[in-house]
Chains A and B, each alone.
Chain A
Amino acid sequence: MFAFIVRRIIQAIFVMLIISLVGFIIQHSIGDPVRDLVGERVTPAEREVIRDQLGLNDPFYTQYFRFVKKACRGDLGLSFFYKKPALEVIVSKAPATIELVIVTALILIVVSIPAGIYAAIYPKSWFSRIVMAASTVGVAIPVFLTAIALIYLFAVELNWLPSYGRGETVNLWGWESGFFTWDGLKHLILPSASLASIMLPLFIRLVRAEMMEVLETEYIKFAWAKGLHRERVWFVHAFKNTLLPVITVFGVQLGILFAFTILTETVFNWHGMGFMFLEAVERSDTSLLVAYLVVVGVIFVVVNTVVDIVYGFVNPMVRIAGTK
């Protein structure tokens, strides 16, 4: 088990280095640190001096190592627009996105697992057929359209829910949270529902497929042969086995959700990291962009690694090296 954890961590570090390399190459070729530092009104001569001072005329390797060293210390460059360290800007926007992702993940779990399990146990029922048909159609509807449709229905027509912004937030030691007020919570509903809609079809189908496969196994047949109550067969024997592959997929998708916030935050004027990314593009803020890439990449890798390790603990076949 320990060896397993160590191996996963080494893999993670390796991938993070690749991300940093990609980020650095972008920064190196498109970015303009001189402009980030002193703006645009400098003479070419002054530029050269500053370039030398910043070490921009050094060989590629030196610059790259410098980049990585600074990154490890938390220095990902300066945001041209905000005139603040890029990482600081990202961290200030992070709570909005993290809360959005948490609620989305909850929606995914609470909806897809029961729906998938029901559709697996009763594949011919009306409910199952509707759910499966809806998920086929759902794949064809881009998330921003879902978001717009939701806004139109719930905000414009019915006026039940707000259509933009985070609403009232409470500041907890620097973390702006929307969880603690009704208003904040109401504002979380539509954006997270939209974000969830990207992956809901995938998860419902996944849970259903896994459960169906599990229900055909010999050990489930044996459980029936033992005369166990059906709830026990479904929710103890089948469920745990179904859950294992689902956990892995969930972990990967969780990391991806962070990136997909780019699509939903803009619709809801949600000032999180995704929104910030698009603003950075508009404003040609290269450092911020690269910083975003690195941060999201790292989140992705860390989430994947943690999920893999959790899976190792949960699956007894990995946890205990069995006698073969």
Chain B
Amino acid sequence: MSHLLEVKDLEVKFALRFGDLTAIDGVSFTLDKRERLGIVGESGAGKSVTGFAIINLLSKPGYISAGKILFEGQELNQFSEEEIRKIRGNRISMIFQDPMMTLNPVLTISTQMVETVLAHHNMSKSDALDLALEKLKKVYIPSPEKRLDQYPHECSGGMRQRIVIAIALLTNPSLIIADEPSTALDVTIQAGIMDLLLELCETEDMGLILITHDLAVVSEVTEKIVVMYAGKIVEAGSTEAIIHDPKHPYTQGLIKALPGSLQPGSRLYQIPGMMPNLTSIPRGCAFHPRCTISDTICRKEAPPLISVSDHDRMVACHLVK
């Protein structure tokens, strides 16, 4: 069965003055049509970089050093500039974190929407405007005609993010990559945006990759999860299975840290220590310094990602069978 998106052994490095730094070290996952995948981890884990790598939007000096990215059977990482440009914003759309920073402050909403359509399809400007209006309605923006002539700073945060989502929908993409789409928004608005994304995936027939550190959000929106730590996947499987029965110590720590999993009045749990930065990743298992059950072998050898039990579950831990 061919997947919509297949990432195989992806490696991303940053070419710095004193040598190359590995940001992503052998990441693989698949996504089928209409599937929703969550990439979870703390800041610095490499989740956003994975998202950018898919459409080759890595900021210099980042580059893909190994691996394959197959989208609808085609190898994206081998594409030329022009070929990948045709995919971006067209077959695969990306949504960024802070809608105030994502929209260009000196251009009107309509300009920013129409140009996306016209970059990929030959259409008249008025047809493009109609399409824009249609998508604005899909994201439940009130009085969309007025919005078109406005500038980003005239709209509220939640509205801006909806506009960004509308832009993402313009070309009926098969896949949306959402990088922390609700993190910069108020908690009350967050829920609305996530609900919207969920609904749109179903009605518009789209796959979703949701990149976030927020497990609560992931548990409500996605069907399967990939947990990343220091550039590697440490656990993968269906959302339900992982949330209810996390096997990797890191995932367990993340779940424990969710406020909802505690009794009222008890102390919030925190995984001790911090994610190592790229220049100082520990030998062996990258998580071992912070791990409650680490053993001698964890300090020496990096654990491979292997299947355990059932339901396509994979875990990278020496001590989990």
Contacts and interface: CB of A to CB of B under 8 A. Distances in A.
Do A and B actually bind? yes
Interface of A: 216-219, 221-230, 232, 236-237, 240-241, 244, 315-317, 320, 322-323
B85 A225 contact: no
B119 A224 contact: no
Given A225-B89, A227-B85, A237-B107, A219 B151 contact: no
Interface stretch (B64-72, B98-106, B192-200, B311-319): B98-106
B102 A222 contact: yes
Interface residues of B, number: 31
29 contacts: A217-B101, A218-B102, A219-B102, A221-B59, A222-B102, A224-B57, A224-B88, A225-B88, A225-B89, A225-B94, A225-B96, A226-B88, A226-B89, A226-B116, A227-B89, A227-B116, A228-B89, A228-B115, A229-B119, A237-B104, A240-B106, A241-B106, A316-B106, A317-B151, A320-B151, A320-B153, A322-B153, A322-B154, A323-B156
Contacts of A232: 115, 119
Contacts of A227: 85-90, 116, 119-120
Contacts of B103: 219, 222
A320 B155 CA distance: 12
B167 interface: yes
B55 interface: yes
A320 B150 CA distance: 9
Nearest to A323: B154
A225 B105 contact: no
B88 to A, nearest CB: 4
5 tightest CB-CB pairs across the interface, nearest first? A227-B89, A226-B89, A227-B88, A218-B101, A322-B153
Contacts of A323: 154-156
**Residue among B102, B155, B167 facing the most chain A CB atoms (10 A cut-off):** B102
Contacts of B155: 323
Interface in B156-186: 156, 164, 167
B209 to A, nearest CB: 13
B82 to A, nearest CB: 9
B101 A219 contact: yes
Contacts of B57: 221, 224-225
